[in-house]
A and B are shown apart, each in its own frame.
Chain A
């Protein structure tokens, strides 16, 4: 997709909210030609208020947000799970690159962005946790990750994203339980843009 749309003026930048070692296994297989960045400390998540992946943001030629945080999958299976149509999203992206898709109305806000004081506090605890983890203070780090998750129960970049650091399986029972609890309280796991 990047090669196809690159000639029409689109640059794809991927950012992995992940440990380098975990992300690079996937990146090395894909051998991407586009910038493929690794964000272990979740700086991009903080700057864009991201709470889950996959999340895409369209940015125009002037560096402005043309379409804020939205759920987008590259596979139909993932799209179905999130309740979005992958084909429709791709078609819309192609139209935008071709200059045919009007941008969402100015001021359209992302559903999947959390700028609350609790979210910022959670990111501070995550930041301290990551720093402690890197220094080998694993238990101290886990206490910070736990606190971050309590403050921002809907932030899966924190709750699911730290599972491997806490020796939990992000595809196992801990994750299933986390999602069931979140959905059971009447929330959504994915928050597509409403426009």
Chain B
């Protein structure tokens, strides 16, 4: 693999939290970008890097940022930007969080489908919204703080 001056030679493991789902990938920190192997992009994001851009099913997003993919791998920040997803990184902890894209979030308005969820119930087991279809639901968020 080609190297650039100033690049940290070692390859380590990065934990990427894809909306909370942990995915591990080898990575290089060149002091500027965190780069993951091109082959790891689909398991991290569901998108594949093709000659004409990032593709998933029949959909392709053109990639204009030429620094996204180099011989050293794919820049995580450029990848997140291309997908319109927020990225939080802690280099020392070798961890990153790839959030949900703002543009894809449904508006919280009357008439919109209420997003489902699955969470632990205090009595054990899990609970969600979908299983109550057919009844009216009052979803009440609270906290002790």
- Chain A contacts to B: CB under 8 angstroms: 5, 9-18, 20, 22-28, 35-39, 41, 43-50, 53-69, 72, 93, 96-97, 103-110, 113, 115-117, 119-121, 123-125, 127-129, 131-132, 137, 140, 143-144, 147, 157, 160-161, 163-164, 170-171
In the assembly, what is the distance between CA of A154 and CA of B93, in Å? 28
Residues of B within 8 A of A15 (CB): 117, 119, 139-142
Residues of B within 8 A of A124 (CB): 85-88, 97-99
Q: Are B108 and A48 in contact (CB under 8 A)?
A: yes
Q: What residues on B are CB-neighbors of A60 within 8 Å? A: 136
- The proximity string for B residues 61-87 relative to A, scoring 1 for CB distances below 8 Å and 0 otherwise, is 000000000000000000000000111
Measured CB to CB, the residues of B under 8 A from A are 17, 19-20, 22, 85-90, 92-93, 95-102, 105, 107-117, 119-123, 126-127, 129-130, 132-145
Q: How far is the CA of A125 from the CA of B101 in the complex (A)?
A: 14
State the CA gap A144–B96 with chains docked (Å): 11
Query: Nearest Cβ in chain B — how far from A115, in angstroms?
Result: 5
Count: A-B pairs, CB below 8 Å: 240
CA distance A157 to B144 in the complex (A): 11
- Contact among A39, A43, A132 with B95 in the assembled complex (CB-CB below 8 Å): A132
Determine whether the beta carbon of B88 is less than 8 Å from that of A144: yes
Q: Which residue of A lies closest to B115 (CB)?
A: A47
Residue of A nearest to B137 (CB): A59
Task: State in angstroms the CA–CA spacing of A131 and B22 once bound together.
Answer: 10
Q: Name 10 interchain pairs, CB-CB below 8 A, sorted by A.
A: A13-B140, A38-B122, A41-B20, A54-B141, A127-B88, A128-B89, A128-B97, A144-B88, A144-B90, A157-B143
Checking B19, B98, B101, B121 against A35 with a beta-carbon cut-off of 8 angstroms, the contacting residue is B121
User: Which of B99, B105, B117, B143 gathers the greatest number of chain A CB atoms within 10 Å?
Assistant: B143
Contacts of B135 in A (CB 8 A): 9-11, 61
Please give the distance in Å from A56's CB to the nearest CB on chain B. Answer: 5
Specify the main secondary structure of chain A where it touches its partner.
Answer: mixed
A164 proximity list for chain B (CB < 8 A): 145
- The interface residues of chain A lying within 8 Å CB-to-CB of B19 are 127
B99 in complex: contacting residue of A11, A56, A123, CB < 8 Å: A123
Residue of B nearest to A6 (CB): B135
Q: Is the CB of B20 within 8 A of A120?
A: no
A109 and B109 alpha carbons, distance in the complex (Å)? 4
For residue B84, give the distance in angstroms from its CB to the closest CB of chain A: 8
What B residues does A48 contact at CB under 8 A? Answer: 108, 114-115, 139, 141
The residues of A that contact B22 with a CB separation of less than 8 Å are 131
Among A57, A109, A125, point to the contact of B97 (Cβ < 8 A): A125
Cβ–Cβ contact B111 & A23, under 8 A: no
* Residues A59 and B97 in contact, CB atoms below 8 Å apart: no
Q: Which residue of A lies closest to B97 (CB)?
A: A128
Contact between chains at A121 and B122 (CB < 8 Å): no
Q: Which of B108, B111, B122, B127 is in CB contact (< 8 Å) with A115? A: B108
